[in-house]
Amino acid sequence: MTSSPQTTKPPAEPASHEPRLLVSEERVLSTLEADGSRRWLKPRLSPGRFLTRRRFVAYGLIALFTLLPYIHINGKPAILLDVINREFTFFGLTFAPTETVLLALLMVSILVSVFLLTALFGRVWCGWACPQTVYMEYVYRPIERLFEGTTGRGGTAKHAVAGWRRVARIIVYAVISFYLAHTFLAYFVGVANLRQWIFGSPFDHPVAFLVVMAVTGLMMFDFVYFREQLCIVACPYGRLQSVLLDRFSLIVGYDRKRGEPRGKKKSDDTGDCIDCKMCVITCPTGIDIRDGLQLECIGCAQCIDACDTVMDKIDRPRGLIRYSSQAAMEDGDRRVVRPRVVLYPAILAIVLTLLAAKLATREAAQVHIMKMHNNAAQFVVNDGLITNRLLIEITNRTETERVYAVSVVDEPRVTARMTEQPMTVGGGEMKETGLIIDAEPGVFSDGYAVITLRITDGNRFDQQIQRKILGPFNTGATP
């Protein structure tokens, strides 16, 4: 896979007092002119079968992104990334950050799925489903075309654009970005909180307000200025393509055998490419697909639609540019099965099995017993009893409210209770409270004793935890 090697116009000859630039023979980056200035792209829209299909997918995904925070499963939003309370909910399952094995298995399964999808279908994510592409090409770019006009045959604006039109576009962009930033925030705080905050003063919720403003600002920066550069230079997934793809992966490719030698005039000596450059003008990342597979290609298929239209006009079969693989185009080798498409599913099957087993054997609650946050004395003597003050954190992993109680197992000389006993914890929620353990001095040996605590909700959850408590030395403890 190469970086876009298009030739470029040399910069104007510098004045004698200016330092001379080393002129590159090829375009270094599709978004840079030879003198290092920004090459602004205004891709021409190419209607066709793939554009129509991508539109359906894109608007479906936009609807999904907008509606997901409103959809509730088991009383919780379908996706809620509650960073403040350290809870992550995905389609009815709530994970605590302490469930590291589960979270790690989930992450590995997502990662391997991405590897597998890329090995099979190339950059289908980039061209069809990535939020950057979806919002750029189906929200922001259409608005730009509405206000500033479409792009002509030569890849430049058809008409000069009035200043007010540019301003109006930016205002509409800002309103949409502001709305999207709220939707984005809903994934972290839930729609109920968001609704309350929208109608309240920003001073009551300054952090949320600042997050919305920052996200709005970042979206404006991206969709007004940065644009395709995000895919070309910033996205790590884009950078990884050269290792994730192989010669048999699905790509958008130009059939060199059929197209070359290209020529404006058709004759028996020329291929099917008439060098009209419609595939270049329409490319949202500004590359020429005829130069071969390039890192900048996001697989959006706009060049396929553009070229198919040309082929229809010159009465040649469609598909000079098409979805295929490097091996199929060069050697006719359409192999599907190869080591990586066997290895990835095998790893995925193992990881998903482990994940399913871990979920099936998951306790209905998670309990943590900790020292006090403020480094307070670990125990005090109180009415002849030794009192240990600890903290207990209970995460209710069920969907319904549960009531928990703590007791001591097989040691009548020790009692344990929570500050709030019994303690009610809502479905999928986590609560922390004090844990007070009173013990007779005779329990301790060498300054400590090990006791067994029982935490139960009187229903599905019943767990015993051993805990060391501290006390005085040399108490003459009985065994």
Round to whole Å and give the CA distance between 466 and 310: 76
Site string for ligand SF4, 225-264 (x = CB under 6 A): ---------------------------x-x----x-----
Question: What minimum distance in Å lies between the beta carbon of 45 and ligand SF4?
Answer: 11
Q: Which is nearer to ligand SF4, 61 or 347 (CB)?
A: 61
The verdict on 298 binding ligand SF4 (CB under 6 A) reads yes
Question: What minimum distance in Å lies between the beta carbon of 300 and ligand SF4?
Answer: 4
Among 33, 260, 275, 393, binds ligand SF4 (CB under 6 A): 275
The verdict on 276 binding ligand SF4 (CB under 6 A) reads yes
Among 78, 96, 289, 293, binds ligand SF4 (CB under 6 A): 289
Pick the piece of the chain touching ligand SF4 (CB under 6 A) from 190-198, 293-301, 343-351, 457-465. 293-301
CA distances from 414 to 322, 434, 443, 452, 453 (A): 76, 17, 8, 10, 10
Round to whole Å and give the CA distance between 407 and 415: 7
DSSP secondary structure code for residue 289 in this structure: G
CA distances from 243 to 118, 237, 378 (A): 10, 10, 55
Round to whole Å and give the CA distance between 200 and 194: 10
Round to whole Å and give the CA distance between 460 and 462: 7
Question: What minimum distance in Å lies between the beta carbon of 190 and ligand SF4?
Answer: 37
Strand ranges inside 375-443, DSSP E: 379-382, 385-396, 402-409, 414-418, 423-425, 430-439
Burial class of residue 366, CB neighbours in 10 A (0-12, 13-18, 19+) = middle
Pick the piece of the chain touching ligand SF4 (CB under 6 A) from 26-34, 54-62, 295-303, 334-342. 295-303
Contact call for residues 426 and 401 (beta carbons, < 8 A): yes
Cα torsion 430, 434, 440, 444: sign = positive
Question: What minimum distance in Å lies between the beta carbon of 137 and ligand SF4?
Answer: 10
Q: Which is nearer to ligand SF4, 80 or 289 (CB)?
A: 289
Question: What minimum distance in Å lies between the beta carbon of 279 and ligand SF4?
Answer: 3
Pick the piece of the chain touching ligand SF4 (CB under 6 A) from 70-78, 97-105, 278-286, 467-475. 278-286
Place of tokens 């019943």: 462
Pull the structure tokens for residue 34.
């030879």
Among 299, 322, 365, 453, binds ligand SF4 (CB under 6 A): 299
* Cα 35 off chain centre by: 35
Question: What minimum distance in Å lies between the beta carbon of 400 and ligand SF4?
Answer: 49
Q: How many helices (H) and strands (E) does the chain have?
A: 16, 16
Which residues does 424 contact at the CB level (< 8 Å), separation at least 6?
401, 402, 403, 404
Among 34, 191, 245, 287, binds ligand SF4 (CB under 6 A): 287
The verdict on 219 binding ligand SF4 (CB under 6 A) reads no
Question: What minimum distance in Å lies between the beta carbon of 110 and ligand SF4?
Answer: 25
First to last CA, the chain: 73
Place of tokens 């185009």: 329
The verdict on 302 binding ligand SF4 (CB under 6 A) reads yes
Pull the structure tokens for residue 79.
């996706």
Among 58, 80, 189, 300, binds ligand SF4 (CB under 6 A): 300
Round to whole Å and give the CA distance between 386 and 328: 78
Question: What minimum distance in Å lies between the beta carbon of 288 and ligand SF4?
Answer: 8
- Count the residues of the shown chain that bind ligand SF4, applying the rule CB under 6 A: 29
| 167: phi then psi, degrees, rounded to nearest 5 | -65, -45
Among 41, 274, 451, 453, binds ligand SF4 (CB under 6 A): 274
Count CA atoms within 13 Å of residue 39 on its CB side: 20
| 292: phi then psi, degrees, rounded to nearest 5 | 100, 180
Pick the piece of the chain touching ligand SF4 (CB under 6 A) from 157-165, 301-309, 382-390, 448-456. 301-309
Contact call for residues 102 and 94 (beta carbons, < 8 A): no
Among 273, 392, 435, 469, binds ligand SF4 (CB under 6 A): 273
Question: What minimum distance in Å lies between the beta carbon of 277 and ligand SF4?
Answer: 5
Among 303, 392, 408, 453, binds ligand SF4 (CB under 6 A): 303
DSSP 458-478: SSS-EEEEEEEEE--S-----
The verdict on 418 binding ligand SF4 (CB under 6 A) reads no
Q: Which is nearer to ligand SF4, 45 or 276 (CB)?
A: 276
| 141-160 positions binding ligand SF4, by CB under 6 A | none
Among 186, 283, 329, 439, binds ligand SF4 (CB under 6 A): 283
Pick the piece of the chain touching ligand SF4 (CB under 6 A) from 152-160, 180-188, 270-278, 407-415. 270-278
Round to whole Å and give the CA distance between 77 and 286: 40
The verdict on 78 binding ligand SF4 (CB under 6 A) reads no
Among 119, 136, 189, 320, binds ligand SF4 (CB under 6 A): 320
Residues that bind ligand SF4 (CB under 6 A): 252, 254, 259, 273-279, 282-285, 287, 289-290, 297-303, 306-307, 310, 320-321
